[in-house]
Chain A
Amino acid sequence: MPRKSTLSTVAVLVCLLACSKEPPPDGGRQPAHQERKSVSCEEVVVVEAEPAEGFDPLLGWGSYGNPLIQSTLLQRDADMRLVGDLAESWSLSEDRLTWHIRIRPGARFSDGTPVTARDVAFTFNRAALAGGKTDVTVLEKAVPTCPYEVELRLKKPQITFVNRLVTLGIVPEQAYGETYGRNPIGSGPYRLVQWDEGRQAILEANPLYYGPRPGIRRVVLLYLKEDTAFAAAKASSVHVTRVPQILARQKIPGMAVRSIPSVDNRGICFPVLPAGAVQLAEGYPVGNDVTSHLSIRRAINYAIDRKALVDGVLEGYGSAAYGPVSRLPWDEPQGAIPDGDPEEARKILAEDGWQDLDGDGIVEKGGLEARITLLYPTDDAVRQALALAVADQVRRIGIEMVVTARSWDDLYRLMYAHPVLFGFGSLDQTEMHNLYYGKRQGDRVHNPGFYRNEKVDRYLEQAMTAKTEEDAIAFWRKAQWDGETGYSARGDAAWAWLVNVDHVYFVDDRLDLGRPRIEQHGSSITANLPEWRWKEGTCSATSP
């Protein structure tokens, strides 16, 4: 990792260096100042991350948004509400163990075969066995009851299973096999016509799709690294490409910066137990004598000026985060605190007996100095900048954070005993559940801080076993702050969440992106690809 990071850092520097010079007015030698090429109404070129395993939903393709080639039972609309896609109606039984789903008749796969309940059942049963990036293990069995009705029986109540209905693309039973990921057949808005591995994939509108025709018939997904993609955008070879925040100030003629809100968050996980309170089988150290003090964790949360982090580190492309689900319907707004308040932070410390008696600028209590190590992964410049800025902010209230970069291998060993700057963010509430659930204490990246609050656990369990997603939301929110306790900064302050990082794209001025969906850690802008279109009169009708 370190080498890769050095390379990309240097590459970014190289870019900055090259671009910081004002180009000569006549266009100069740089190839970037040509007229933008004319575009065809029928084609758009988008830079994406490549699914190296192929386009197989059972191994995780589409789990970050929209499988595009396959269709799903449900979808989330731009307001995060659940709406039917393949499913016409859906309901969960009274015992919360069986989903009854009726799918639309008349849907066909791109090879012409009809989509039936058998295919849906096959997809879920097979996914439950597949060792991929989609977790359907709670499924007991999927049973087709009628040609267009299917029952999904669960081993235990789990409301977050609804996210599988949203993300798991339905595959045809007849055409599924080992090589499916390279020759996917689905009932989604697009079909895969070509995949040159390591370089690009080409999608075309699926003529048999039951929904509205996509606004742009042909999509070229280019698989480029960030710095290369930026160069390609300047050479006007691509229409949409993501860039790191620091490049957002650059100008590319004919392209505008578009910042897509996301739940892609960054936050500091605190070990909440004192050192040595628990022994791990692997022998890794657990607990931290400083961060096990609630006052320290709360003071840090109050001292951090999140707005300054957004403006200073993210160039304004982001928002303050007070929890792992800021911006989502299941976020509890009461969990947000008036931050950037060192006075309040000092008060919290003083009330708990933290004082700077020896005059070294660091508070102590009972001989223990408020000195902690904040770890972040080596290959991430944004987290480094965030960590340094946070350390600077908390130093003013007498807490010293020694900011240290480590490899992920080291972080996974040290995260039980030291604060680590993590990045998560998902539309699936399972993530929030796992980060704070007491029974997940120390289960790797599930709750590495060993946080446990019985009341919070109860809310999380109630949410998990709720009848509907709306019902669950009330409990998800109570787990954050119920007026007395909760995991948020107002309560136990188990984490110090910092920011949500917007995903920043350069987008061709002539392209209308519709209403992009809120993004997640690792997701892409293509979730609403079928809504994209070229603006009136900006494209030529000739096919590419």
Chain B
Amino acid sequence: MLRYLALKGLHGAVLLAGLAVLSFVLVSLSPIDPIRAYLGDAATRMSPEQKARIADRWGLNDPAPLRFSKWAGRLLVGDFGVSRIFNKPVLQVIGERFWVSLNLMVSAWLLSGLIGFGLGVLAGARRGSGLDRCIRLYAYILASTPAFWLGMVLLVVFSVKLGVAPICCASPVGVAYAEATLGEKVRHLALPALTLSIIGVANIALHTRQKLLEVLESDFALFARAQGETTWGIVRHHGLRNILLPAVTLQFASFSELFGGAVLAEQVFSYPGLGEATVLAGLRSDVPLLMGLVLFSAVFVFVGNTLADVVYRWVDPRIRLGGGT
């Protein structure tokens, strides 16, 4: 286990280094001029001298490789730099917003896992029935629905037409997130979380169904049935552990989609989390913040995938970690 973790850690470090270089190159090639994005229309009133001052403040005058090495050097001592948009340390921006996003992502993650798995089991156990067809149709529709579009539909129905859900934000108008009650937070979380959970549901439901069908057609299921076991009994006693595996894989591997989906969901619902910050950083070429977010999300996804490996072992002891079968 130790060896596994050491290898995994090394793997992660190499991944992050490569990612940092790659994203820095991409950001450097971005056509967005950060000074122009920063000044907006105020640019008409700024002298060339003032633009030079701004470039100095942000260290834009150095060639890209030098900028990267300076940034990387500071990163090694834990300094992620200062966000240009928010004029405060990148880690502080990420720290504040992470907790807002975490609530969203965790609830969406749990929702998609539970709903997806439940639907998959139902469909698999009632194969060929009307229920199965309905669930499959539902899954196919979800799988081909962009999350942001669905978010807007939910917004129209529940916030605008029915007026039962808030139209935006993580807390009521005029109330700071930290001061909002649990009920208020949940109310504001509901639609974004539902939107975000949709991404995972279809995948998990269809894979779980497929796996359950395999199990139900297997010899041991046939044997159990011969002994008088009901379908639900087979599912409960022989199926669940077996069919959990694809669900768990998908669920933990979906951290990347979760993060990507959060960017869109937060945008639609004006939910002030990491996703919204990512969009801002990209549009305004806030390189320190964008790089910080890229690294942070990479760690997030990496941890998710590692957790998947560990959970495999728990679900199915036949799988051993660290290769060497």
The residues of A with any CB-CB pair to B shorter than 8 Å are 1, 3-4, 7, 10-11, 14-15, 17-18, 29-31, 45, 52-54, 56, 59-60, 63, 129-133, 135, 137-138, 179, 181-182, 196-200, 220, 222, 224-225, 227-228, 231-232, 235, 237-238, 408-409, 412, 423-424, 426, 428, 430-431, 434-435, 443-446, 521-522
In the bound complex, how far is the Cα of B271 from the Cα of A199, in angstroms?
A: 10
The reply to whether B58 and A131 contact each other, CB–CB distance below 8 Å, is: yes
The reply to whether B87 and A53 contact each other, CB–CB distance below 8 Å, is: yes
The reply to whether A7 and B57 contact each other, CB–CB distance below 8 Å, is: no
Q: Which of B146-173 contact A (CB under 8 A)?
A: 148, 152, 155-156, 159-163, 167-169, 171, 173
Known: A15-B160, A137-B49, A424-B44. 20 other contacts (CB 8 A): A3-B267, A4-B267, A7-B148, A11-B152, A54-B88, A131-B55, A131-B57, A132-B57, A135-B46, A137-B47, A137-B50, A181-B87, A198-B272, A224-B169, A228-B168, A228-B270, A231-B168, A232-B173, A428-B45, A445-B41
- Indicate if B36 sits at the interface (CB-CB under 8 A): yes
In the bound complex, how far is the Cα of B279 from the Cα of A1, in angstroms?
A: 9
The 10 closest A-B pairs by CB, nearest first: A131-B57, A131-B54, A137-B49, A131-B53, A196-B176, A135-B50, A53-B87, A198-B272, A228-B168, A18-B160
The reply to whether B44 and A238 contact each other, CB–CB distance below 8 Å, is: no
How far is the CB of B94 from the nearest CB of chain A, in Å? Answer: 13
The reply to whether B85 and A199 contact each other, CB–CB distance below 8 Å, is: no
In the bound complex, how far is the Cα of B37 from the Cα of A133, in angstroms?
A: 12
Q: Which of B32-76 contact A (CB under 8 A)?
A: 32-33, 36, 38-50, 53-58
The reply to whether B173 and A426 contact each other, CB–CB distance below 8 Å, is: no
- Indicate if B283 sits at the interface (CB-CB under 8 A): yes
- Indicate if B228 sits at the interface (CB-CB under 8 A): no
How many residues on chain B are close to A (CB under 8 Å)?
Answer: 53
Contact partners of A10 in chain B: CB under 8 A: 152
- Take A29-B163, A137-B50, A412-B36 as given contacts and tell me if A224 and B173 are in contact as well, using a CB distance cutoff of 8 Å: yes
In the bound complex, how far is the Cα of B148 from the Cα of A7, in angstroms?
A: 9
**C-beta contact mask, B247-272 vs A, less than 8 Å → 1, else 0?**
00000000000000000000110101
The reply to whether B160 and A430 contact each other, CB–CB distance below 8 Å, is: no
How far is the CB of A198 from the nearest CB of chain B, in Å? Answer: 4
The reply to whether B45 and A412 contact each other, CB–CB distance below 8 Å, is: no
The reply to whether A135 and B41 contact each other, CB–CB distance below 8 Å, is: no
In the bound complex, how far is the Cα of B53 from the Cα of A137, in angstroms?
A: 9
Task: Please name the residue on chain A nearest to B100 by beta carbon.
Answer: A198
Task: Please name the residue on chain A nearest to B277 by beta carbon.
Answer: A198
The reply to whether B174 and A222 contact each other, CB–CB distance below 8 Å, is: yes
What is the interface of chain B mostly: helix, strand, loop, or mixed? helix
The reply to whether A63 and B42 contact each other, CB–CB distance below 8 Å, is: yes
Contact partners of B130 in chain A: CB under 8 A: none
- Take A198-B272, A199-B176 as given contacts and tell me if A224 and B168 are in contact as well, using a CB distance cutoff of 8 Å: yes
Contact partners of B88 in chain A: CB under 8 A: 54, 179, 182
Cβ 8 A contact of A200, one of B54, B160, B176, B267: B176
The reply to whether A444 and B152 contact each other, CB–CB distance below 8 Å, is: no
- Take A29-B163, A237-B173 as given contacts and tell me if A522 and B54 are in contact as well, using a CB distance cutoff of 8 Å: no
The residues of B with any CB-CB pair to A shorter than 8 Å are 31-33, 36, 38-50, 53-58, 85-88, 96, 148, 152, 155-156, 159-163, 167-169, 171, 173-178, 267-268, 270, 272, 279, 283
- Take A131-B57, A137-B53 as given contacts and tell me if A14 and B160 are in contact as well, using a CB distance cutoff of 8 Å: yes
The reply to whether A220 and B45 contact each other, CB–CB distance below 8 Å, is: no
The reply to whether B176 and A521 contact each other, CB–CB distance below 8 Å, is: no
In the bound complex, how far is the Cα of B35 from the Cα of A412, in angstroms?
A: 13
Task: Please name the residue on chain B nearest to A132 by beta carbon.
Answer: B54
Return 18 A-B CB contacts under 8 Å, by A number. A4-B267, A7-B148, A11-B155, A29-B162, A53-B85, A133-B38, A133-B42, A137-B47, A137-B50, A179-B88, A199-B176, A222-B173, A224-B270, A237-B174, A409-B31, A409-B32, A412-B33, A423-B41
In the bound complex, how far is the Cα of B174 from the Cα of A183, in angstroms?
A: 20
Contact partners of B161 in chain A: CB under 8 A: 18
How far is the CB of B283 from the nearest CB of chain A, in Å? Answer: 7
In the bound complex, how far is the Cα of B152 from the Cα of A138, in angstroms?
A: 49
Contact partners of B41 in chain A: CB under 8 A: 423-424, 445, 521-522
The reply to whether A52 and B36 contact each other, CB–CB distance below 8 Å, is: no
Task: Please name the residue on chain A nearest to B37 by beta carbon.
Answer: A408
In the bound complex, how far is the Cα of B160 from the Cα of A18, in angstroms?
A: 6
In the bound complex, how far is the Cα of B155 from the Cα of A53, in angstroms?
A: 31
In the bound complex, how far is the Cα of B175 from the Cα of A73, in angstroms?
A: 35
How far is the CB of B295 from the nearest CB of chain A, in Å? Answer: 22
The reply to whether A220 and B272 contact each other, CB–CB distance below 8 Å, is: no
In the bound complex, how far is the Cα of B86 from the Cα of A59, in angstroms?
A: 12
- Take A198-B272, A199-B171 as given contacts and tell me if A30 and B44 are in contact as well, using a CB distance cutoff of 8 Å: no
Contact partners of B32 in chain A: CB under 8 A: 409
How far is the CB of B50 from the nearest CB of chain A, in Å? Answer: 4
Most A Cβ at <10 Å: residue of B41, B47, B55, B173:
B173
